[in-house]
Structure 1
Amino acid sequence: MADRTYAYDLVGQTGAPVNQQAYRMEAGQLWRQYIIAGIANIAIASSGYCMGWTSPVNLKLQQNGTGNPLGEPATMDQEAWIGSLLTVGAIFGPFLGGFAASSIGRKWGLLSTAIPLFIGWILIAATKNIAMIYAGRIFWGLGIGMLFTITPMYCAEIATDDTRGALGTFLQLFITLGFLLIYSIGPYVSYSIIAYVGIIFTAVFVVGFFFMPESPFYYLSKGDRESATACLAKIRGRSHQGVQAELDIMAADVSASMQKTATIADVFRGSNFKAFYISCALVFFQQFCGINAVLFYMTNIFEAAKSNLDSAVATIIIGAVLVVASLITPLVADRLGRRILLLISSCGTAIGLVLLGMFFTLADNKNPVVEKMSFLPILSLVLFIVTYCWGLGPLPWVVMSELFPIEVKAIASPIATAFCWTLTFFITRYFSKIALALGMGGTFFIFAGCCVASFFFTLFLVPETKGKSFQEIQDILAGKSSKS
């Protein structure tokens, strides 16, 4: 019996005996998790393309002539609605995503996000008036809200404990790839071509992800162990026998969760509420560091700064920095841990925003030193974006996917995600007006203050989840000692 143990010894709860020796002997193929998660996140890259769409397209909509499908320049108020209406759809998308994930599964839930994305792109491509752009942005938002709910859930459930952080940070990496693509081609191609590329992007995701496996947790929740075995074997690159030990652990987690029927009220009780307010606070700081205001209005910021560098080129540089910085996080998220990266990120974004605020304050006061500091907006944005990509960007989604127990996740995650997009709506809708009232400098100082608050919140209240099983994380939230 030396080679046999119990799921209790591995995850802190009773379960069927598992063959530990077989589990160790069959190493499997770790790369499969990364490939599957990467294909799942192609849709997230498409989301980044949709979200960054306003940066080059706003300039096209301000022009007269054939390049503007509206036939006349868009007003400042119309531009604000174009930027913010995506987030209106994204507020409701998480609830559709949570329902789809629990009823038809994580895989088919993700594939169903292509429906609103396709509708949105068709409306954008066929635009004849501003209402069609508004409608297209809302449909994009529905799809994006669904994606931001289901994708972290799917990646967390296919990952092993020691790769869950890396796979969770794929969301940030792939969304920046989408931003880089739109920033790179947007200024140089027509409005219609931008839309056709978006349609192709979504189609590539549908075709690729169609052949990917379902989450084994979903099959176990439906009592279908045979299908769970088959998909876990595919994900791990092991035989059916070689995944039985891990499947026993998953089954024990699911079995304990299925004994409870979660309601909305359960989200606000005990350790669930602690997970909920931590998740909501992290997405609050993620949004109120000002990232979406910066990304949605990147070109406008460079033009306002009167940088010597062409605004389109500067935007491409920032997009490239986004991607390179996001490549680092998957490599270190499971080594350094979530807390230290969030602390570094909060400090770095605060410094970058303070520098940006100083530049615009000096510019507003017509200080002559500004002419010698035209490099500062790019330098500050690079610092801001690099450190954002290390922590505040990806890790709130990683932590959210880890903190909630299985039976609560499908209810709590959509609420927290909808809260995130509600904040995004207010920021993108009113950023221009606040910047006019307070000045760009004052606006960036407010965002910097939120980053400082994020540092202290993380320092005192966010638990470390690196390398912990789902059950161990629940024990930490409940204040119990956890078995390794």
Structure 2
Amino acid sequence: MENDKKRKSWSELMMENKETEKNVSHGTIFQIYTSFIVGLLAITDGMAYGWTSPMIPYLTSDESHLKMSLHEAEWMETWMMIGVIFALPITVQAVDRIGRRNTILFSCIILVACWIGITIASRVEYIYAARFLKGVGLNMAYVAAPMYLGEIAHKNIRGLMSGIVFTLMMVGTLLIYILGPLVPYYVPSIIASVLLSTQVFAFFFLPESPYYLLNIKKYEEAKNALQRFRGNSDIEEEFEEIVKTMESDKQEKSSSLKAIFQVKHNRKSLIIVLVLDLSQPFACQEIMLMNLHEILNSAQSTYMSTTSAGIIFGCIMLVSAIVSSLIVDRFGRKFLLITSSISTGICLVTLAIYFHMKRSGHNLDSLSWIPIVSVLVYAFVYKIGIGMVPIVITSEIFTTKIKALGMTISDGVYVVGSIASLQMFFALKSTFGIHVPFYLFTCCALVTSLFTIFLIPETKGKTMEEIQTILKGE
């Protein structure tokens, strides 16, 4: 009789476990679905960043419907960066006042208008205005989307969800590289507008972040939102943790800029994020993306055309982004950052040594495959760690109270770092030779690995409250 009871209890326990797994699975599917919906915006972001690459040759050609000089065309990218910087104070207010979800929706509407404006523009100035507003929309999206996903995701798949979005951004860049030279000028704008309109429609039915709802004291709505993102599983314990985290955040002095510097763990969070933000441009991200053909032409390789190498480079980065998204929650943030930064440094120093020897007069014809291999290996090892992980950490390391301000500062520092790294590359290359900036950026990549080893905590599988506890040293 006792054995029958035990068997019955075991059977009931197994049924409960299966039901729990089913509920968790249902919640996971809905969260991943949400990340793909946000990813529609990311695809158009990638298209926006890569748009000038195929369009500048068209707009400066005799076939262009809107004739531009090369100098005028180059200003299109600058105006978008100006828009990004201009939007910083707007974004920090929007995500806390109207919410993460509504900020994303608002950015989508702005971006749809920009793509339509680019399509119908009849003057250069109109394109400049559209690119400026596109920078505003991209900044709002770049801050609000990771914040939203970081707050709705279960701790075990938070890295995956952020990774999906930035993988889709790479899809958008590759898409514009392929379609831009092949289709009429207006087609990419139509594709982007359709994707954004689809997101607006689908996103309208998704709930707001539970963290934001708690911040504005809508407790019942916050609980319902969390329940939707977790399926039918029991959310009481997780909800209590979120409430406890929010109450702890409210004890901080303020949500202003002063609070980031007054509170020790906030300062630590900011330092970590700023170093990671600068690690990307100073590990040659923009330099490789914008100057790949020039770098390979300088190598004078006979093993592969620069056009073919560029396409393969983009494909490898996309594959690497997918791999990173799938393993970031298994191997952890620190492992990927350390491995990636060391490997990136090896690729960069290989390029530096090659160009140094070539400048010194050595005959390297038989070794001209080295820069191509180095660049293609760089595409994989950079993107799997430094190129993906910082945005995951940025979305989870700030307290709710300063997250909007912290992520906005992060975005601004990244833009400034990108401009600085590009200008440094051009200045050092023209003054001392192309090998010198690669030596410098090698050092930057290796410093990132040391910083990660000693100062960045592992956030894999931890709740927001646990992450803050670690930063506080408790």
The answer (yes or no) to whether the contact 2:424–2:437 under 8 Å persists in 1 is no
Query: What residue is the counterpart of 1:337 in the other structure?
Result: 332
What CA distance in whole angstroms lies between the structure 2 residues aligned with 1:129 and 1:364? 45
Shift of 1:105: 1.3
Q: Deviation of residue 298 (structure 1)?
A: 3.6
Select the residue among 247, 250, 268 that pairs with 1:274: 268
- 1:15-94 superposed matches below 5 A: 27-28=23-24, 29=26, 30-61=28-59, 63-66=60-63, 68-75=64-71, 78=72, 80-94=74-88
* Conservation of the 8 A alpha-carbon contact between 1:88 and 1:425: no
Q: CA deviation at 1:161?
A: 1.5
- Provide the residue aligned with 1:17 in structure 2: none
Partner deviation per Cα, 1:258-308 (whole Å, 9 max, x = no partner): 344322111012111011111101101112112022213344444555555
Q: Which amino acid aligns with 1:38?
A: F
Cα contact 2:35–2:165 (8 A) shared by 1: no
Q: 1:45 to 1:53 in 2, by over 3 A?
A: same
CA distance in 2, matches of 1:119, 1:431: 35
Q: Distance in 2 between matches of 1:359 and 1:132?
A: 45
The C-alpha deviation readout for 1:335-369, integer Å capped at 9, x for no partner, is 21111111111012112222333444455567542
Contact 1:46 1:201 in 2 (8 A): yes
Per the TM alignment, residue 93 of structure 1 is displaced from its structure 2 partner at its CA by: 3.0
- CA 1:157–1:441 in structure 2 vs 1: closer, same or farther (change >3 Å)? same
For residue 479 of structure 1, report the CA deviation from its aligned partner: 1.4
Q: List aligned pairs for 1:76-475, cutoff 5 A.
A: 78=72, 80-238=74-232, 242-260=234-252, 261-269=254-262, 270-306=264-300, 309-361=304-356, 367-370=362-365, 372-428=366-422, 431-432=425-426, 434-475=428-469
The number of equivalent residue pairs is 454
Which amino acid in the other structure matches residue 57 of structure 1?
M
Partner secondary structure for residue 202 of structure 1: helix
Cα distance in 2 for residues equivalent to 1:464 and 1:58? 43
Query: Which amino acid in structure 2 is aligned with residue 352 of structure 1?
Result: C
Match of 1:9 in 2: none
Whether the 8 Å contact between 2:341 and 2:448 is mirrored in structure 1 is yes
The 1-side partners of 2:186 and 2:296 are apart by 25
Deviations, residues 444-469 of structure 1 (Å, cap 9, x unaligned): 33222211111111122111111222
Instruction: Compute the displacement of 1:127 (Å).
Output: 4.0
* Distance of 2:297 and 2:120 partners within structure 1: 29
Task: Report Cα offsets for 1:383-419 as digits up to 9, x if no partner.
Answer: 1121122111121111122221111212222112211
Distance 2:448 2:239 in 1: 37
For residue 41 of structure 2, what is the amino acid of its counterpart? A
How far apart, CA to CA, are the structure 1 residues paired with 2:358 and 2:192?
37
Aligned partner of residue 70 in structure 2, secondary structure: coil
For residues 135 and 321 of structure 2, what CA distance do their matches in structure 1 show?
A: 23
Once the two structures are TM-superposed, the CA of residue 164 in structure 1 deviates from its matched residue by 1.5
Q: Does the 8 A contact of 1:81 with 1:429 survive in 2?
A: no
| Unmatched 5+ stretches in structure 2 | 1-15
Distance verdict in 2 for CA 1:201–1:440, change over 3 Å: farther
**Which deviations, in whole Å up to 9, do the C-alpha atoms of 1:410-445 show, x marking residues without a partner?**
222211221111222334566545543444333333
By how many angstroms is 1:219 displaced? 1.4
TM-score by length of 1: 0.85
Deviations 1:181-217 (A, max 9, x none): 1122123223333333333333233233223221111
Distance 1:406 1:343 in 2: 27
CA distance in 2, matches of 1:356, 1:69: 41
**CA contact 2:152–2:229 (8 Å) conserved in 1:** yes
Identity over aligned residues, as a percent? 29
- Report if the CA contact (8 A) 1:342-1:391 is conserved: yes
Offset of 1:43 from its aligned partner? 1.1
Q: 1:195 to 1:315 in 2, by over 3 A?
A: farther
- Tell me the amino acid that sits aligned with residue 256 of structure 1: S
d(CA) in 2 for partners of 1:185, 1:231? 39
Range with greater deviation from structure 2 (450-459 or 114-123) = 114-123
Letter in 1 for 2:259: D
**Structure 1 equivalent of residue 13 of structure 2:** none
| 2:92 and 2:408 in contact (8 A); partners too | yes
- Structure 1: runs of 5 or more not aligned: 1-19
